[in-house]
Amino acid sequence: MPRVTRIRSAALAVVAGGAALILAACGSAGAAPAASGPVDLTTVTIRTGDQLGQIGGMLAASGQDVGMPYRVEYSRFDSGAPLLEAIRAGASDFGGVALSTTVNAIGAGAPLKVAGIFKQSRGDGLGLLVPQGSPITSVADLRGKTVAPNLKGSPAHLILIRQLKRAGVDPKDVNIVFLAPADAQAALASGRIDAWETWDPYLVTAQRAGAKVIEDSTGLSDGLFTFPASTAALADPGKRAAIADYLQRVDRAYKWRIDNPAAAGAWYASLTKLPVDVATAVIAKQDQRLIPLSDKVVADAQATIDDYVSLGVMPKPVAAKDIFDSVVG
């Protein structure tokens, strides 16, 4: 059984014994040089940022944390932007965030590359919420209103802009403010903002409290969830091999979630404090699986980059093909 201890404020350390010699030869063309021989992973520690503790919790619930030959240190974050800032600052090696958040950080100069890519088949994981009884019934009604799409450059920010454009609304005609999810939730409840663009589980939690979704992200979201890593971690043969093994465990854990909805729903309810039926509905949307780098993935990343550049969120364009350094597949 793995030994679990608490580190930093809300972090976990998972240690699994046993010898492990793994070749660090996996990766994509153009990747960082691999080790010329086997890597002893018992000497390796990888530090990962984890949004709401979901990835580490899922690995434990599915049994995929058993037998890890390397040490994993978890730091918990409420959203993707501070997670990436921790990687940028050297406090974490890698972590899971939406593609849009990743490209925004890279565009701002963060020394990151995408080490692994997951995709979900459904695109309704984000939505535009208004309070119960609000006169706002469509995106077109947002002119002159105050809307919080969580943090600047977040997936919610991108989806809001795409929703406005699809409805023929100039983003300049909307008062867009940026708030962390918990602050935005409180602001919506108090009436300080008129609408809130967010993602699950915040989305379903607000609905449970009476908020109404006037439009979700169907047709606007690429469904890509990335695991960016620092270039320093990817250049380290031991960390690179450990990250590759970790991502394959994450993929198997996602498959466990898909194949065991009742057990997965109970686990997610315990993690989020949501009712079991609501938790089960949330994770039913999140059927991510690890996918190889492809022309379609690069094209989706480039579309996001281009949108952010046009908004002034990213200072200059970035070639999407250069942001990937896949360690698996």
CATH of domain 126-216: 3.40.190.10
Indicate the Cα dihedral angle 5, 44, 28, 227, nearest 10°. Answer: 20
pLDDT at position 215, please? Answer: 97
Q: What is the per-residue pLDDT across 165-208, written as a single tens digit (0 to 9) for each? A: 999 999 999 999 999 999 999 999 999 999 999 998 889 889 88
List, by residue range, all CATH 3.40.190.10 domains of the chain: 3-121+223-322, 126-216
Strand 289-291 vs strand 71-77: parallel, antiparallel, or unpaired?
unpaired
Whether 170 and 164 have beta carbons less than 8 Å apart is answered as yes
Q: Which helix (H) or strand (E) holds 280?
A: helix 276-285
Q: What is the per-residue pLDDT across 117-130, written as a single tens digit (0 to 9) for each? A: 999 878 888 999 99
CATH of domain 3-121+223-322: 3.40.190.10
